[in-house]
A and B are shown apart, each in its own frame.
Chain A
Amino acid sequence: MANVKRSPWILHYDGSSCNGCDIEVLACMTPVYDAERLGVENTGDPMQADILLITGGINAQNAPVVKQLYDQMPRPKVVVAVGICACTGGVFKDCYNILGGADKVIPVDIYVPGCAARPESIIDGIVQARDLFQKRSEEHDALIRKQKMEKNAKENG
């Protein structure tokens, strides 16, 4: 019952993608691939999300947005970069406005390559992300317990 990995909720953010990866991310939710059978829900709300899916490269305009979305997500959280643009900047890497992949502004945990990334590999990325989410959740619980014990110890002198 304590498994949080059975309920990974996703926030999908489109950086400066060509929409190819976005279409494939949405395809994951359609009848053919049906990621919802893994408990995945596309929330669209950072306050409720566990996994941040980023598509497209990071440019000067969306860098603060991505950073803010990441900060608004409650711990434990996992970031998945979908598509080669979100991984490294892809073919746009040397453009004047592109800073690079999503890892230029936030820590990325899982890289899903491809142009566009195929739904199968995106779902594989989500499955890896939810295992990591489970691990982080256990670490988070341990941290909370430790903080409580320290607080109690302080109060009891």
Chain B
Amino acid sequence: MEVSRIIMPILYVVLAPLLGALLTGCDRKISARMQRRVGPPILQPIYDVIKLFKKQVIGVDRAQGFLLFTNLILTVLTGCLFCLGMDLLMVFFILATSSSFLYLAVCVTGSPMSSMAAQRELVQEMAVEPATILAALGFYLATGSFGTLRIASQPVSAIIKTPGFFIAFCFVLTVRMRKSPFDTAQSEHAHQELVQGITTEMGARNLAMFQITEWYETILMLGVAALYFLNSNPWSILLAVVVILALYFVEILLDNTCARLKWKDLLIDLWAVTLLCDGINLIILMMI
């Protein structure tokens, strides 16, 4: 038991960026096929990051590298806590702290594009935070515990009692993965209005660090989504993997078919979904 508890975080630290890179590679390939293009190779994100590490570092602000590194470390720490079976609330709070370091890293440069993206990043954070915290509460009401291992080893999956929380969490996932229609802060294509959004002033090593952090975060959020389906039966792992892959495909489909929302619509939509799905589910759980 003790050994397996240590192995999980180590596996996360080593495998999460690789898995994240592969998922992003598949994402780009599938997006390309949806647009009837051939698309880049699946390992393309890894090639990109290796190249970025080899380029000359031009720092706009010295603090940026440090802040991005803190963001990376905090995100990895969050994932390790999650794998260790710690408190889900704590996981979400530390994740919010790491996001605030990202915000600081983006707005420290003072360029208009990245400042505007930083503001939007804050709005996004504000839009998803209630649903994120309520998701943890939903797990507690359904299973009687905030501990991730305890939640995953229940006799029945949490999704049976918390379908509303899961729907709201899917919206959180879209924002966290920076997918359209909720990608106000990140405009990763050259023709969009913020040029490169939050990464406008990041280059070389710093951009690579940001990319790796994103992969860690994506894997962590997909892990939380998996928590809805895991139970004491080992076959539930297969179910969770299938659901996650299906969810990822839906995200790609949405990304390719939706136009981006304005920040006000984003805030209103997310809060409305949170209020409706989480609220109704919460009332039903309190009554039984």
CA distance A38 to B47 in the complex (A): 11
Instruction: Tell whether, in the assembled complex, residue A4 and residue B189 are in contact, meaning their CB atoms are under 8 Å apart.
Output: no
Q: Are B35 and A7 in contact (CB under 8 A)?
A: no
Contacts A1-B50, A72-B58 given; does A48 touch B199 at CB 8 Å: yes
Residue in contact with A43 in the complex, picked from B36, B37, B44, B196, CB distance below 8 Å: B196
**Given A12-B190, A31-B35, A141–B40 Cβ distance below 8 Å?**
no
Main secondary structure of the interface of B (DSSP, over half): loop
Contact with B48, one of A7, A38, A47, A141 (Cβ below 8 angstroms): A7
Contacts A44-B196, A45-B196 given; indicate if A36 touches B56 (C-beta within 8 A).
no
Chain B residues, CB < 8 A from A2: 50
Kindly state whether residue B163 has any CB partner on chain A within 8 Å: no
Is B201's beta carbon under 8 Å from chain A? yes
Q: Which residue of B lies closest to A30 (CB)?
A: B37
In the complex, which residues 32-58 of chain A have their Cβ closer than 8 Å to any Cβ of chain B? 34, 36-39, 41-45, 47-48, 50
- Is there a chain B Cβ closer than 8 Å to A74's Cβ? yes
For residue A74, which residues in chain B have a CB less than 8 angstroms away from its CB?
Answer: 55-58, 203-204
Contact bitstring A3-22, B, C-beta under 8 A = 1, else 0: 11011010010000000000
**Contact call A47/B50, Cβ cutoff below 8 A:** no
Contact A43 B58 (CB under 8 A): no
Complex interface: chain B residues within 8 A of A140 (CB): 54, 56
Residue of B nearest to A1 (CB): B50
Q: Is the CB of B37 within 8 A of A31?
A: yes
* A42 and B40 alpha carbons, distance in the complex (Å): 13
* Structural contact, A36 and B40, CB atoms closer than 8 A: yes
Cross-chain contact of B39 among A3, A6, A37, A76 (Cβ < 8 A): A37
CB-defined A-B contacts under 8 Å, sample of 8: A7-B51, A31-B37, A38-B40, A42-B191, A47-B201, A47-B204, A140-B56, A141-B54
On B, residues with C-beta under 8 Å from A are: 28, 32, 35-41, 44, 46-48, 50-51, 54-58, 60, 189-191, 195-196, 199-204, 207
5 closest cross-chain pairs (CB), A and B: A44-B190, A47-B203, A74-B56, A75-B56, A42-B190
